[in-house]
Structure 1
């Protein structure tokens, strides 16, 4: 059956996948600029692959070896690829973040990603360089599973992406976002929402069939509510983790989250039905006039029938599904009490340059001069010392096999979708909004679920807290960060360095990976400051701007003193001016006195009161209450 939705596979094609042996799947990607207009409002440059956009879907089977040959033909920007949600077990150097597991790929250079996939599910790939993926370098990555517990329960599958869309390039938006001209840190708001990188998407369906939808939010900022009018969803996977089936009328997908669900169509073709993605506008500081926060698609049963208008999210009776209630299919029980606890406080604040930044524990991330993985490989036994990775990378060193508990306290009033590279995690606790820190919650080990849900991207509520748990069984350099791309750019990142001595014994960096570093003039040995002589000397490392000073600086004190003195002098001048005689009135009195002297010389005494005209004029001019009592 043909469909306007890419990635549609029949059950027979999936059966063929189940009999296929592990293979090598190769993709050759020339990364280039192209022009696109996905919302019909505005032509703009986008980052495409092989001259096309949207970019290709990567598809493989569990056990396949995937090779992605990347050539950067952008001309004016470096790039990289991160394969979001893949654990990269044994191939940590293929994870993709710039200055973390590799150097960025400069214009004109090539780079090969080569890894074996041992996990099924719904993923995506995107640039992990300079906030670049909202410009278009983002696409689905689907791993089919011959042993899926749901393989026989649906007839066909399709991939459906959500995204937000900006009319301006990130290179134009980022400088204004992180600047003293934006002291509140208000994030740029997108213009539109998209389904499959377009609008008004039509999905042709047949009556009485069950479809597996693989839905991915590839947006930079907006979380979205999703519902299918006249149909229910049965959730069977989130972020690559199979779940016990769970019914939902409406789901909430943050940036980077994925959700797969079964949807059974109606038995008649009497009508078509809208499905909707609606941005969570509470994330936005402002609602611009050009914001279209809804995107609509249709399940088309009959091309001859009209496409109905959708309901508004506020008009629906359905509740948004709570992902904390999901139960993993494998019933993995709660990991034991932690060997190591890492507590991170989320803060948004200004630094000395006047711009607003994002912080974990008062540290806003700055990329090191040497990629963190290369520091781990080149610093010998000191690789277990967090200091060699720099003062601005928020690094925590983990030992092999440790059970790690990660507590995140949101001291900010916004939602944050946090993503961990290299694995998924058990989400063992999430507080309500405005609950304060975990310490305030009075929650104990006994309150955690025996079988917690798992995923790799999890939403932290405003002024609330979460508790995540995982086992350190995958040596590598793994970021933990908010997946709102604006917050990545403003520094909301921590680094887990896992089993660095094991990495030194097992990992070999390919020649072409080092070649892009040479092309980009990026050092590959030493500590975060590229110091190879004294690994604990971080002089010259990349630093965040200095913090705002406590109280007043000397310059501020001088400015305050002058301001106060100017204020006092200004008040004195106003008072003096107000109390001084009116020069014009004084001149008039003098004239009238002179005239009175003339009168006095000719008229003489006129009775009681001022004895002379001079005295009368002087009395009138002095404000005497009796002036004019007599003629």
Structure 2
């Protein structure tokens, strides 16, 4: 019988119907409120819990599912939001979550529904994206299962490992942007957690292959991880499947994820330490009681010994992890063509005139607008393509639909920075210095910016991910296609650096955003409740979008050299110091004071002529204030 020419078409329709039939709606109801916990056994503190519980629930869906999260803000004293890290949010950037970028902050006592379809796969996470609050515990894994993954038949079970730094104080109680911290030194964590606790035993079976999801959900510190006498097979980074690649040591920065295959031994004689080593190069100081290296266990036999790790090296300075730049995506997508739009940025850390330490892309420290940037797009009409309307201090960049974008990121800072791009993953095509002995170590070397005429050849099939680390005093180059209209942040995922302003906003295909985005009425209602305007430019000007009078501004820069006021202040300070020393000298050379020996209860006090001993009163000192 002759084959119908329409068979391929009907076969395609059948496959699409089958996929639609298997997709489902997964709903979570989150009542966000405060709970008390003590995960490291050192200090009890308040954290942000969900439904009265902490650790938070892992979100699990299948590729193609619709995810609905009904969130109620029961914190009572804080605004909040929710960002689903790594989700592309195609045609729905209003579900991306950063307050004052794609939505208004959700006030206490109000509900908000996040509702979108996930056509991705792999390892992600969710966290608060309002007022830098996820170090207060509001973060957890989000796993997208994929029955069609190329390695799906190679494992029998799976588990999740989260790593995080941990603070004993609420973010609001940590003096960071403060005159008490003029260097801008990041707060040193009090401890480090493994699956939101410590001393964990992961029970495994012999001769079994596990799919292991590693996530660093911390706010600051990267960590190395390995398992004694075991190797990993890397199969995914940041939601991108990779060619299977053997490794024995991984470095996972804040917000990065790895998924690996781990095959257990055929014996149950012993248990093996899962070793985590803190990247101590990121810490400005290390308290004596801070434990940098930790052992948890791959447990084959609960009754056998659980030994502490035999460290490969003494410190993280000597560890060389697997180089993620060499991982090849399984889909084989080749190096993108020469860019249509190149963005060159330099990371700088410095002071502004209030004495606080800030972070900058070039000379701009990100400052939130008065109107969420997405709402400016929706209300600007034809002016939406004009970068000016989005404000000088959001560092806005307008991208055209489908152009190839290249970001050259130069790091003029002596610390590493993990940068995240919302709404995309990107090709990492160049990084210097490469992984090795000097990558994470600042040894006083000069700042080395990218030189387009002097670099190693770009890989033909580059690694892709959504968080990549730029090394101290070095640089990297990334590329992506602007094929996802929306408003997207690009920022350092060290939350302290985001608070300092190390971010910018990309407005991708704004005319397409106006056509494809249908912002739910609920979002506008939330804005009214929060007292945030929903129309106008960055200054909330609806009459003249090109008039930015009244926009939020970063603090003024420090003047170069001393001002007249500064010179006068210095002179008077010197005079005061000299006079003070003179009085101290005169006092020291004066006649010795009489001592009254017959004071009550044997008390000896100075006697000043014309007064009695009881007239001299010891001053009360508030030790806390002093």
* 1:275 alignment counterpart: 274
How far is the alpha carbon of 1:551 from its aligned partner? 2.3
How far is the alpha carbon of 1:140 from its aligned partner? 0.6
1:505 counterpart SS class: helix
Against the structure 1 CA distance between its residues 309 and 567, is the aligned structure 2 distance closer, same or farther, given a 3 Å change threshold?
closer
CA distance in 2, matches of 1:558, 1:65: 66
CA distance in 1, matches of 2:177, 2:580: 38
Deviations 1:526-581 (A, max 9, x none): 0111011111111111111111012222312333455678899999x99xx9xxxx
Tell me whether 297-306 or 404-413 shows the greater mean CA deviation. 297-306
Indicate if the aligned counterparts of 1:438 and 1:466 stay in contact, CA closer than 8 A. Answer: no
**1:481 maps to which of 476, 487, 491:** 491
CA distance in 1, matches of 2:545, 2:274: 56
* 1:369 alignment counterpart: 370
CA distance in 1, matches of 2:30, 2:225: 32
TM-score normalised over the length of structure 2: 0.86
Indicate if the aligned counterparts of 1:357 and 1:364 stay in contact, CA closer than 8 A. Answer: yes
CA distance in 2, matches of 1:254, 1:508: 35
Indicate if the aligned counterparts of 2:384 and 2:511 stay in contact, CA closer than 8 A. Answer: yes
Verify: 1:512 aligned to 2:522, yes or no. Answer: yes
Indicate if the aligned counterparts of 1:249 and 1:319 stay in contact, CA closer than 8 A. Answer: no
TM-score normalised over the length of structure 1: 0.85
CA distance in 1, matches of 2:28, 2:218: 24
* 2:551 alignment counterpart: 541
CA distance in 2, matches of 1:566, 1:542: 39
CA distance in 1, matches of 2:60, 2:538: 36
* 2:260 alignment counterpart: 261
Verify: 1:436 aligned to 2:447, yes or no. Answer: yes
Deviations 1:186-218 (A, max 9, x none): 111111111110111111111111111011000
Deviations 1:198-247 (A, max 9, x none): 11111111111111101100001110000001110111100000001111
CA distance in 2, matches of 1:296, 1:361: 41
* 2:178 alignment counterpart: 179
CA distance in 2, matches of 1:260, 1:20: 28
How far is the alpha carbon of 1:293 from its aligned partner? 2.0
Deviations 1:145-165 (A, max 9, x none): 121000011111111111111
CA distance in 1, matches of 2:296, 2:573: 61
Against the structure 1 CA distance between its residues 427 and 38, is the aligned structure 2 distance closer, same or farther, given a 3 Å change threshold?
same
* 1:532 alignment counterpart: 542
How far is the alpha carbon of 1:289 from its aligned partner? 2.8
1:152 counterpart SS class: coil
**2:458 maps to which of 441, 448, 455:** 448
Alignment of 1:365-444 (within 5 A): 365-432=366-433, 433=439, 434=445, 436-440=447-451, 442-443=453-454
Against the structure 1 CA distance between its residues 564 and 194, is the aligned structure 2 distance closer, same or farther, given a 3 Å change threshold?
closer
* 2:27 alignment counterpart: 26
Q: Which has the larger radius of gyration?
A: 1
* 2:613 alignment counterpart: none
User: Quick check: which one's helix share is greater?
Assistant: 1
Alignment of 1:448-597 (within 5 A): 448-560=458-570, 562=572
1:271 counterpart SS class: coil
* 2:245 alignment counterpart: 246
CA distance in 1, matches of 2:202, 2:538: 50
Tell me whether 179-188 or 419-428 shows the greater mean CA deviation. 179-188
Indicate if the aligned counterparts of 1:166 and 1:192 stay in contact, CA closer than 8 A. Answer: yes
CA distance in 2, matches of 1:410, 1:323: 19
* 2:216 alignment counterpart: 217
How far is the alpha carbon of 1:443 from its aligned partner? 3.0
CA distance in 2, matches of 1:414, 1:491: 16
In structure 1, stretches of 5+ residues that fail to align are: 1-16, 578-631
Aligned residues between the structures: 557
Alignment of 1:11-50 (within 5 A): 21-50=22-51
* 1:596 alignment counterpart: none
Deviations 1:258-277 (A, max 9, x none): 00001110011110111021
CA distance in 2, matches of 1:25, 1:498: 29
Against the structure 1 CA distance between its residues 439 and 323, is the aligned structure 2 distance closer, same or farther, given a 3 Å change threshold?
closer
How far is the alpha carbon of 1:315 from its aligned partner? 5.3
Indicate if the aligned counterparts of 1:193 and 1:294 stay in contact, CA closer than 8 A. Answer: no
Indicate if the aligned counterparts of 1:249 and 1:318 stay in contact, CA closer than 8 A. Answer: no
1:153 counterpart SS class: coil
Against the structure 1 CA distance between its residues 315 and 282, is the aligned structure 2 distance closer, same or farther, given a 3 Å change threshold?
closer
In structure 2, stretches of 5+ residues that fail to align are: 1-17, 434-438, 440-444, 587-626
* 2:603 alignment counterpart: none
Alignment of 1:110-259 (within 5 A): 110-173=111-174, 176-259=175-258
Indicate if the aligned counterparts of 2:186 and 2:496 stay in contact, CA closer than 8 A. Answer: yes
* 1:608 alignment counterpart: none
Verify: 1:302 aligned to 2:313, yes or no. Answer: no
CA distance in 2, matches of 1:447, 1:342: 20
Indicate if the aligned counterparts of 1:369 and 1:542 stay in contact, CA closer than 8 A. Answer: yes
* 2:590 alignment counterpart: none
CA distance in 1, matches of 2:286, 2:319: 25
Against the structure 1 CA distance between its residues 563 and 310, is the aligned structure 2 distance closer, same or farther, given a 3 Å change threshold?
closer
2:397 counterpart SS class: strand
Against the structure 1 CA distance between its residues 567 and 114, is the aligned structure 2 distance closer, same or farther, given a 3 Å change threshold?
closer
Against the structure 1 CA distance between its residues 449 and 167, is the aligned structure 2 distance closer, same or farther, given a 3 Å change threshold?
same
2:313 counterpart SS class: helix
Indicate if the aligned counterparts of 2:165 and 2:192 stay in contact, CA closer than 8 A. Answer: yes
Indicate if the aligned counterparts of 1:229 and 1:275 stay in contact, CA closer than 8 A. Answer: yes
